[in-house]
Structure 1
Amino acid sequence: MERPCDGTAEGSRLARDRLIAAERVLWEAAAEFGSARRALPAGPAVQSATPLTTASGKPVTLAGLFGARRILVAYHLRFDEGWTRPCPDSARWADGLDSLVPHLESEAAVAVFSPASPGALAAEAERRGWRRAALVSTQPGRLTEELGLRHELGLRAAISLFRWTDDGTLRRNVFAADVPGGPWSLLDLLLPGRQADRDDLDGLGEPRGPDRVEPARDERRWEAALPEQTGPAVAAVDETDTDRGEVLRDADWATTPPG
């Protein structure tokens, strides 16, 4: 076991060195993971006419969710028909995805899928404040089952990347959702040109050259950047409800992917 920092200048320096080394390993592993994920070829074909229903109750097909885009990113929320609430871990993932839609929509349409009823989805969206991602029930079809996301113990959370190929075929890849970076990892999946952002982190926070200037550490500037609250405070979401019918977490998807 590594010794904790003893509070001395030398101890602090050693602790910082260990942190930098660990960060470097983490970034290298994340880059390798992202590269391998982007290198996957388009997966099996899927029926573009698969029937779905929006949270507002409007019938729609899978193809109808793309708009003018060639890519659809869908998060499969662990929220089944008959459940009182979705899995808290999965719902928090959807929270993050909903906030990222403005950063993703230039490259892809974004949706949250669930086998729950449209009305249940709409109620959960209102409760959690989801406003940006399309909310879609996989009813009346069997998309959840066709993608291998239902098994004998419940549902698996996952990310589907649907893509129109040049020959007009709709294909999909299914990825684990419980990965480092959570929803933010989608930026790397869709926008691989962010190498410049990684280059800026060369040295992991240390200056790279004479023209790199560390900004002043004036924490008051962050306070000034915070938006003013103009409406009533949003009530905290109570996620202690365990009446969901099962207890699997997102991590189960990563260890037991469907065949």
Structure 2
Amino acid sequence: MNFEHLLFAVEDGIATVTLNRPKALNALNSALLTELSELVDAIAKDASIGAVILTGAGEKAFVAGADIAEMQGKTPLEARAFSQFGNSVFSKIERMPQPVIAAVNGFALGGGCELAMACDIRIASTHAKFGQPEVNLGIVAGFGGTQRLPRLVGPGIAKELLMTGDMITAERAAQIGLVNHVVEPAELLPKAQEIAAKMLSKGPFAVRFSKKLVNEGINMDLERALALESEVFGTLFGTEDRLEGMTAFLEKRPAKFQGK
């Protein structure tokens, strides 16, 4: 697959997607979002891919935000459509069956922070910076920031970041629960690959349904969410992987999962 604004590679069942507009600090424009949407669709259908790492080209930025030069001339209706499109792409990432790890190598501001939040796990370089600076432009976050941020860090901290536009360090992002791990720049991709490989060594159905249960259950009341969990728990007892996993445990050997 050839793209103008993305780099794509697969090794050992792990797909690495690199947003590749380094001169624009990987800012999100319509062309990049369209390519990302198409690639996410393709990955989601590819059973040979078990995990995805999403990162940005260059050392300065993961994604510095949406492309302000493109947004400048939009009418209210065009701006709403742009927001809806960005949200649709990020929701695809959130819903795709494979776990997605954001490897944040620099600025993750505005749309960049929102893109990272649509991923399942966020690993940050010590050089990374996070923020939702839209209020500095007289607008609000438009790609999910006002909704995913409070779900991750709580409404109080989210409101502070959204209403001040403050930029925070990777260490602060980890303290508030926005980031899972902070590592030195040279360790960023290896750490992401390590976590992805660990996930691939587990039962494929179990990993994918764990993601699905968290994503769906968090928007349900507890009673319905627990019922959904029990349903999936029972369903997985009908798989060969469940039998292999429990047999391997009892035989004190590593499990050999087949995704069956």
The bucket for the TM-score relative to the shorter chain is under 0.3
**Larger radius of gyration, structure 1 or 2?**
1
When the two structures are superposed, what TM-score results if normalisation uses the length of structure 2? 0.26
Larger RCO (alpha carbons 8 Å, 6+ apart): 1
In terms of fraction of residues, the more helix-rich structure is 2
When the two structures are superposed, what TM-score results if normalisation uses the length of structure 1? 0.26
